[in-house]
């Protein structure tokens, strides 16, 4: 029988005949059989040969079958032991069964009972093995599941622990059951002081807690049983108030509310930045107000002077006219007075229109500006002035200049202001260079107005573009030319720059952006 081939049986019997007969029977049935003539040899063989089944005679000199059974079972409880008893030794048979023998056979051994006993031993062996494998499998799976569970729990714990937001959960009675490190920081309490010891309402004012609970019940604020980004104040250790933004969600177990989990975001840093920002805005506003005040004061001063002159001359003329009809000599005086009045009035008007250009915010008439065209127009308007001052004009306009977007009138105003300043700087003549070129890398058009005048003192450079800054004599300069240029360039997203070394003239550059 092939199915018995893998079964190894150790047969222990001190009677050689029995060994021979029984082993033959077993071998015929396909078992692999080893034999031993006494208990000691049997036990040794058991250890080296590892049989599945041991069949042992009970009555043997020295070590008897019961001892063999005990020793074998101790050594390997999986080995099945069948004891062979003589007729009438039922008590020994029972003892053997109590010691976990799988069966007993009585002498004289007949084949049938031998096979029955062997089959039963095999069954026992196999079912025990199956049970063992099954247990091992379950153990393994259990271990794996436990590991996975531990990993998941650990991961969740880490997730909660490493959150930047404070996380706190409480049960249905409001008792805090867990919280993370960020929450400890927010409250200033360690979790051992809080978890299972305090209720969540201890960290809010009564009013805030009522609000919080009311909002949790409402459908708004993230939906019923939820709260989304609600701003409130936590009360931490030593009554410290901490502004927070809280999102919360009620927890349910089998349809019953079992607690709430809350996420708190610390708003202290945001509030600090807000305050800083507000302070800055305040300072900026103050700055603006101050410069506005300064500007107003200057305007009043600038306009007051000419107005005083105008008023004086007009009053004088009225007084003369009131007294008598003016004679030709007086009329001649009047003409001079009126000239002053005209000059002063146009000065006032210049100040006012200059201020208007300076303060205008939105671009008025933006369109295509051809730089060459712009320069020609500006030169034409200043030609007469240049000739009067004996100034030689040199131009250099590069051919590759693209068309820029802008308000040609305002840009022309810029150029005229620069040219007139240059002319003013060279009252006894000199050279004026007007050039234009394009920087394709920077995508910028650069127009330069350069003179051979005395240049600009270093200490004046930072003030050139301030309104009403002038070094010119009363009646010659208002000090709005360059600030107007600056304002116009701003509106064109451009800049105005100056380079000057005293004694070597000044070079003003208008830099305009080009965008295709
Ligand atoms: N090309 C120049 N060379 C030397 N100094 C100059 C030149 N351009 C301007 N400045 C200096 O900058 C000052 C301010 O110029 P700005 O054009 O703003 O006012 P202004 O010419 O004095 O008066 P306004 O142009 O309003 O009649 C001038 O008073 C002068 O000191
Ligand atoms: Mg000027």
pLDDT digits (tens, 9 = 90+) for 334-373: 888 888 888 888 878 777 766 665 555 444 678 999 999 9
Residue 480 Cβ contacting ligand 1 at under 6 Å: yes
Establish if 419 belongs to a structural domain. Answer: yes
DSSP-based helix, strand, coil % in the chain, nearest 5: 50, 20, 25
Establish if 152 belongs to a structural domain. Answer: no
Dihedral class, residue 405 (left if φ above 0, else alpha if ψ from -120 to 50, else beta):
beta
- Rounded to 5 degrees, what are φ and ψ at 332? -60, -40
The two three-digit tokens of residue 18, written as one number: 């029995």
The whole-number pLDDT of residue 1 equals: 43
Establish if 141 belongs to a structural domain. Answer: no
Residue 477 Cβ contacting ligand 1 at under 6 Å: yes
Residue 472 Cβ contacting ligand 1 at under 6 Å: yes
Number of domains into which the chain is organized: 4
> Hey, which of 298, 382, 416, 421 would you mutate to test ligand 1's pocket, going by the most ligand atoms within 8 Å of its Cβ?
421
> Hey, which of 452, 479, 486, 489 would you mutate to test ligand 1's pocket, going by the most ligand atoms within 8 Å of its Cβ?
479
Establish if 79 belongs to a structural domain. Answer: yes
Establish if 96 belongs to a structural domain. Answer: yes
The whole-number pLDDT of residue 292 equals: 58
What are the strands, taking DSSP E only, across 239-345? Answer: 241-253, 256-266
Residue 71 shares a structural domain with residue 101: yes
The residue whose two tokens read 């063989």 is: 45
Q: How confident is the model at residue 301 (pLDDT cuts 50, 70, 90)?
A: low
Which of these, 363, 387, 378, lies nearest to 417 by C-alpha position?
A: 378
Establish if 17 belongs to a structural domain. Answer: yes
Q: How confident is the model at residue 325 (pLDDT cuts 50, 70, 90)?
A: confident
Domain boundary among 237, 266, 295: 266
Domain boundary among 266, 285, 311: 266
Residue 277 shares a structural domain with residue 349: yes
Residue 391 shares a structural domain with residue 489: yes
Distance (Å, whole) CA 83 – CA 94: 10
Q: Which of 167-171, 319-323, 438-442 has the lowest mean pLDDT?
A: 319-323
Whole-number Å distance, alpha carbon 316 to ligand 1 midpoint, is: 34
Average pLDDT over residues 104-109: 89
Name the closest-CA residue to atom 10, ligand 1: 421
The whole-number pLDDT of residue 362 equals: 45
- The string of pLDDT tens digits covering residues 71-92 is 999 999 999 999 998 877 888 8
pTM of the model: 0.43
Which of these, 227, 223, 225, lies nearest to 255 by C-alpha position?
A: 225
Helices (H), 360-443: 371-388, 408-425
Residue 462 shares a structural domain with residue 408: yes
The residue whose two tokens read 């040199």 is: 394
Residue 86 shares a structural domain with residue 176: no
Residue 349 shares a structural domain with residue 379: no
Residue 422 Cβ contacting ligand 1 at under 6 Å: yes
Q: How confident is the model at residue 293 (pLDDT cuts 50, 70, 90)?
A: low
Residue 302 Cβ contacting ligand 1 at under 6 Å: no
In contact, 351 and 299? CB cutoff 8 Å: yes
Domain boundary among 359, 391, 416: 359
Average pLDDT over residues 18-32: 93
Q: Is the pLDDT confidence value at 277 over 50?
A: yes
Residue 387 shares a structural domain with residue 352: no
Establish if 150 belongs to a structural domain. Answer: no
The whole-number pLDDT of residue 62 equals: 87
Residue 471 Cβ contacting ligand 1 at under 6 Å: yes
Peptide bond into 108 cis (omega under 30): yes
Residue 187 shares a structural domain with residue 65: no
Distance (Å, whole) CA 366 – CA 379: 21
Whole-number Å distance, alpha carbon 352 to ligand 2 midpoint, is: 15
Establish if 123 belongs to a structural domain. Answer: yes
Domain of 504, CATH number, reads 3.30.565.10
The whole-number pLDDT of residue 145 equals: 87
Domain of 182, CATH number, reads 3.30.450.20
Sheet with strand 391-397: strands edge to edge: 391-397, 430-439, 444-450, 506-513, 495-500
Ligand nearest to the CA of 464: 1
Residue 399 shares a structural domain with residue 507: yes
> Which atom, in ligand 1's list, is nearest to the CA of 453?
3
Whole-number Å distance, alpha carbon 452 to ligand 1 midpoint, is: 14
In contact, 169 and 176? CB cutoff 8 Å: yes
Specify the DSSP class assigned to residue 403.
Answer: P
Q: Is the pLDDT confidence value at 45 over 80?
A: yes
Sheet with strand 103-106: strands edge to edge: 32-36, 8-12, 53-57, 80-85, 103-106
In contact, 424 and 477? CB cutoff 8 Å: yes
| Domain with 97 in it | 2-134
- Rounded to 5 degrees, what are φ and ψ at 513? -75, 150
Distance (Å, whole) CA 174 – CA 461: 70
Residue 256 shares a structural domain with residue 289: no
Q: Is the pLDDT confidence value at 288 over 60?
A: no
Which of these, 101, 105, 106, lies nearest to 87 by C-alpha position?
A: 106
Residue 15 shares a structural domain with residue 125: yes
Distance (Å, whole) CA 484 – CA 350: 12
Domain of 345, CATH number, reads 1.10.287.130
Residue 33 shares a structural domain with residue 105: yes
């Amino acid at each position: 029988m092939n199915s018995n081939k893998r079964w190894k049986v150790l047969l222990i019997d001190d009677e050689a005949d029995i060994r021979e007969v029984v082993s033959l029977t077993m071998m015929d049935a396909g078992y692999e059989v080893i034999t031993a003539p006494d208990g000691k040899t049997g036990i040794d063989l058991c250890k080296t040969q590892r049989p599945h089944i041991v069949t042992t005679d009970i009555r043997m000199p020295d070590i008897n079958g019961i001892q063999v059974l005990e020793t074998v079972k101790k050594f390997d409880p999986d080995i099945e032991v069948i004891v062979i008893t003589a007729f009438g030794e039922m008590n020994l048979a029972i003892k053997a069964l109590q010691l976990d023998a799988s069966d007993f056979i009585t002498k004289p051994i007949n084949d049938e009972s031998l096979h029955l006993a062997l089959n039963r031993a095999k069954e026992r062996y196999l079912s025990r093995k199956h049970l063992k494998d099954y247990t091992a499998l379950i153990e393994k799976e259990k271990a794996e599941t436990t590991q996975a569970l531990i990993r998941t729990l650990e991961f969740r714990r880490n997730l909660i622990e490493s959150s930047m937001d404070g996380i706190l959960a409480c049960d249905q009675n409001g008792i805090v059951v867990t919280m993370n490190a960020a929450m400890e920081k927010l409250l200033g309490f360690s979790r051992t002081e809080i978890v299972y010891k305090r209720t969540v309402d201890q960290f809010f004012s009564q009013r805030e807690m009522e609000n919080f609970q009311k909002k949790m019940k409402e459908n708004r604020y993230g939906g019923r049983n939820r709260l989304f980004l609600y701003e409130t104040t936590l009360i931490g250790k030593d009554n410290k108030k901490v502004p927070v933004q809280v999102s919360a969600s009620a927890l349910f177990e089998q349809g019953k509310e079992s607690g709430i989990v809350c996420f708190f975001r610390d708003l202290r840093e945001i509030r600090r930045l807000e305050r800083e920002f507000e302070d800055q805005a305040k300072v900026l506003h103050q700055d603006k107000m101050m410069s506005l005040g300064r500007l107003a004061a200057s305007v009043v001063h600038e306009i007051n002077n000419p107005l005083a002159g105008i008023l004086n001359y007009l009053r004088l003329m009225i007084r003369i006219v009131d007294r008598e009809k003016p004679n030709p000599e007086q009329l001649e005086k009047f003409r001079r007075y009126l000239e002053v009045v005209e000059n002063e009035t146009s000065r006032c008007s210049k100040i006012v229109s200059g201020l208007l250009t300076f303060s205008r915010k939105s671009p008025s008439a933006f369109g295509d500006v051809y730089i060459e065209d712009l320069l020609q127009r500006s030169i034409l308007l200043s030609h007469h002035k240049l000739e009067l001052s004996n100034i030689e004009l040199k131009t250099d306009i590069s051919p590759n200049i693209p068309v820029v977007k802008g308000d040609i009138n305002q840009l022309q105003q810029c150029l005229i202001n620069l040219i007139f300043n240059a002319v003013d700087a060279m009252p006894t003549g000199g050279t004026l260079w007007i050039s234009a070129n394009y920087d394709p890398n920077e995508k910028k058009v650069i127009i330069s107005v350069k003179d051979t005048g005395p240049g600009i003192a270093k200490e004046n450079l930072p003030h050139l573009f301030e309104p009403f800054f002038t070094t010119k004599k009363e009646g010659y300069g208002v000090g709005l030319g360059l600030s107007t240029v600056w304002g116009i360039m701003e509106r064109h997203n451009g800049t105005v720059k100056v380079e000057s070394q005293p004694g070597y003239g000044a070079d003003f550059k208008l830099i305009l952006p080009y965008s295709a």
